[in-house]
Structure 1
Amino acid sequence: MSTVQSLINDVSQKINALETAQALYSRQLSPDFSTFEYISTDELGLSRILAALLDPKGSHAQQESFLRLFVEHCLPVIYQDYNWQIFFNNLEKTEVFLEEVTGKSNTQRRMDIYLRCQVGDESYGICIENKPYAADQSNQLIDYYHELKERGHSSRHIVYLNEYNGTPDEKSVDARVLEKWKKDKEYSHLRFSDLIGWLKACQVECQNHSVSEFIAQLTKFIQKQFMGIEDMNEDNAILDIIKQNAATIDASIKVSNTVDRMKKELIAKLKVDLLAKYKKTDYELDISYIGEGRRYEQIRFIIPGYNKAWVCFEFDNAGFDRPILGIKFTSVEAAKACPHTETMNTMLTDKKVSSSAQWPAYYYFDPQDWKGSSEAWLMINEGTMADKILEEMDKVFRLLSEKGCFSD
């Protein structure tokens, strides 16, 4: 038997053993239970959670310890900057605000999380822009920076928090301005995955069991939602097998090198299945924008006679990962010009609907994790994924069409 086949057999046996154990002890382990299934995890909900943890006067009662650890782990630029040492030594004086209106600059935006600290004549301001799902808006970060400046903060810092983009969109802040902020140590980019180290440090220092368990649940949510990690126990078990010796490491690399090819071949099968099962009615199926695994690849329902938007199934991440489904406009301007966009996100009542500049209404398609889970790929291989995509896209189309959204 080849080393590759042996590796696959060992991994398969280990996973089967874990699944058996989980089935036998599910009542004790509750492996699928998560507090965050019952908590709002949209942009505002996540901002509220992070702001509560960062607040030295928060109900967690751990005083400024969480904020101190956040600066240490997530904002090394501030932590190592002499100009911020007074702030760091007086963290207990920090005030934390949620959805703070940018009134001083007269831009009337809302800073997701705003931290303010006054120590004598020294004033410190931090704006955390939380972008878990939505797109950047025009001049957004520029306006936040000006707001911090107008509020008289001698030391100010913009934090851009997301997972999938390395930098904000240039419409939010010009690349040259952003480089100046970085040079002046006034900007940090954070990924949600970067928060894991901070949260684990908070757990170690936390002296309350309930708060510690909440942080553990938040960590688990971030790992699943933004990192594609479904089960750390399973990951650790597989890693142990892979690292056994040189042969298993070599075999795992060979397996890894074929995964992208396998996914592309299954996507090609999905396209064939979609064409075979699609029944043309009031729209046309377009599968020409999917196949290579680039970010934003999509499947479209084109509406004849309506060229401003289409019903769209799109991968929000590269490598065929995190698909979303909804209505997408050809441009931000086209979306703004449509009289129905303000009400579109209230139509899909059975889904957790979000909206952004070009997407007045969309939701994350289930299964959502196409990177760390085999569920979606097994469905494609069995031929059931095409049925699910066509059914849901048709439902969205019918609902929007009935509301007159495709009429000028």
Structure 2
Amino acid sequence: MSAVQTLINEVSQKIHALEIAQALYSRQLSPDFNTFDYINTDELGLSRILAFLLDPQGNHAQQETFLKLFIEHCLPDMYEVSERQIFLNNIEKTEVFLEEVTGKSNSLRRMDIYLRCIVGNDSYGICIENKPYAVDQPNQLIDYYNELIAKGHTDPQIVYLSEYNDTPNPASVDTETLKCWIDKKQYSHLRFSDLTGWLKACQVECQNHSVSEFLTQLIKFIQKQFMGIEDMSESNAVLDIIKRNGATIDASIKVSNTINRMKKELITKLKIDLLAKCKTTDYKLDINDFGEGKNYEQINFIIPSYDAGYICFEFQGENFDRPCLGIKLWSIEEAKNNLHTEKMKTTLNTALADKKIWSSPLWPAGYYFYPQDWKGSSEAWLMINEDTMADKILEEMDIVFNTLKANDCFTKY
């Protein structure tokens, strides 16, 4: 038997044993329970959670401890700028605001999380732009930076929190300006996975059991939602097997090297299934921008009589991850002029009560498609292999299309 086959068999047996143990002791362990399954975890919900933890006056009652640890673990560059020493020495005076309107610069945007610290004549400001799922808007970070300047902050800082984008979209801040911010240490990029080290440090320092358990649940949510880790016990058990010796390490690398190829082959199968199963004449199925694994690849329903937008199934993460589905318009200008934008969201909210309908500049109405995790879970890939994924995608796109059509959302204006 090959080393690769031996590794796969051993991992399978270990996972099966863990599943049996979890089933036997499920009442004691509650392995599938997580508080965050019942908490709003859209962009605003996550911003509210982070703002709560960062606020020295927050009712977690741990004072400035969490904020101090956040800077130490996530923004260590702040200690290298002498102008920020006054802020670091008076961190307990920091005020935290959620959805702060950018009124000083007249751009009328909302900063997801805004931190302000005033010490005598010195004023310090940090804007945390939280991007768990949505895309950047034109001039968004530029406007936030200008707002911090307009508020009179010394040495302002932008923190861009996004798991999947290495840099902001150039439409949000141009490359030259971003480089200038980085050189002056006024910009930091964070991933949600980076937050786990901070949250674990907060657990160590936390003196309240309820708050500590909240941190535990938040870490589990981040590991599942953004890192693809469903079960740390399972992950650790597999890691122990992989690291056992040279043969298991070599075999695991060989397996890893075939994963992307397997996904590409299954995606090719999905495209064939979609074309074979789409038989409607009300729209045209477009899969030309789908199959490479790049950010924002799409499967589209092009509506012949409607040139403002289309029904879209889109992967918001690279390598086929985090799909969403809904109505998407061709341009932001079209979105501004479209009289049916609000009606589209209201219509889908009513018709699809089990979905969490959201909107963004290009999406009048969308929701996150289940299964959501195509990166760390096998569920979606098994559905493709078993010929059920194409049916699910086409059915849900068809429901969105027909719901909007029945409510006259595609009429000219």
Counterpart-to-counterpart distance in 2, 1:103 and 1:92 = 26
Q: CA separation in 2, counterparts of 1:36 and 1:189?
A: 25
Query: Is the 1:97–1:115 Cα contact (8 Å) retained in structure 2?
Result: yes
Aligned-residue offset at 1:214: 0.4
Match runs of 1:115-134 below 5 Å? 115-134=115-134
Alignment root-mean-square deviation, CA:
1.3
Tell me by how many angstroms 1:120 deviates. Answer: 2.0
Match of 1:371 among 375, 380, 383: 375
Deviation at 1:135, TM superposition (A): 2.0
Please state how far the C-alpha of 1:221 moved relative to its aligned partner: 1.1
- 1:407 alignment counterpart: 411
CA distance in 1, matches of 2:103, 2:322: 36
Percent identical pairs in the alignment equals 72
Q: Helix, strand or coil: the match of 2:346?
A: coil
Aligned to 1:209: 209
Write the deviation string for residues 272-316 of structure 1: whole angstroms up to 9, x where unpaired. 222222222311222222222222222111211223211111111
CA distance in 2 between counterparts of 1:173 and 1:127 reads 14
SS at match of 1:137: coil
Instruction: Look up the match of 1:380.
Output: 384
- Amino acid in the other structure paired with 1:353: I
Partner of 1:357: 361
Deviation per residue, 1:109-147 (Å, 9 max, x gap)? 222111111122221111111121222222222222122
TM-score by length of 2: 0.96
Q: CA deviation at 1:153?
A: 1.5
Q: Answer yes or no: is the 8 Å Cα contact 2:102–2:144 preserved in 1.
A: yes
Bigger mean CA deviation after superposition, 117-126 or 195-204: 117-126
- Give 1:6-405 correspondences, 5 Å limit: 6-349=6-349, 350=353, 351-405=355-409
SS at match of 1:354: coil
Decide whether the 8 Å contact of 1:53 with 1:66 is kept in 2: yes
1:393 partner SS: helix
Q: Equivalents in 1 of 2:127, 2:7: separation in Å?
A: 48
**283-292 or 238-247, which moves further after superposition?**
283-292
Deviation at 1:76, TM superposition (A): 1.3
Q: CA deviation at 1:263?
A: 0.9
Letter paired with 1:363: Y
**Do the aligned residues in 2 keep the contact of 1:203 with 1:212 (CA within 8 Å)?**
yes
**Partners of 2:146 and 2:331 in 1: how far apart?**
28
Q: Secondary structure at the match of 2:179?
A: helix
SS in 1 for 2:226: helix
Deviations 1:336-386 (A, max 9, x none): 222111232233332111222221111111011111111111111111111
Q: Using the alignment, how far apart are the partners of 1:17 and 1:332 within structure 2?
A: 52
Instruction: Give a deviation string over 1:171-215, Cα, whole Å, max 9, x none.
Output: 222221111111111111111111111111101110111001101
CA distance in 1, matches of 2:342, 2:77: 40
- Gapped regions of structure 1 (runs ≥ 5): none
**Paired letter, 1:235:** S
CA distance in 2, matches of 1:170, 1:405: 32
- 8 Å Cα contact 1:134/1:355 also seen in 2: no
Whole-Å separation in 1 of the counterparts to 2:126 and 2:6: 53
Q: How far apart are the structure 1 equivalents of 2:72 and 2:79?
A: 6
SS of structure 2 residue aligned to 1:356: coil
2: CA distance between counterparts of 1:180 and 1:214?
A: 38
Distance 1:277 1:381 in 2: 15
Equivalent residue of 1:197, what SS? helix
Normalising to structure 1: TM-score of the pair?
A: 0.97
Question: 2:4 maps to which residue?
Answer: 4
What letter is aligned with 2:380? A
- Alpha-carbon distance between aligned partners in 2 of 1:284 and 1:221, rounded to the nearest angstrom: 38
Query: What letter is aligned with 1:300?
Result: N
For 1:148 and 1:290, locate their aligned partners in 2 and report how far apart those are by CA, in whole Å. Answer: 40
Q: Hey, what's the Cα distance between the residues in 2 that align with 1:105 and 1:336?
A: 22
Q: Distance in 1 between matches of 2:174 and 2:277?
A: 46
Q: Distance in 1 between matches of 2:137 and 2:269?
A: 37
Moved more, 224-233 or 4-13: 224-233
Amino acid at match of 2:398: D
Higher deviation after alignment, 45-54 or 338-347: 338-347
The separation in 2 between residues aligned to 1:184 and 1:257, in whole angstroms, is 40
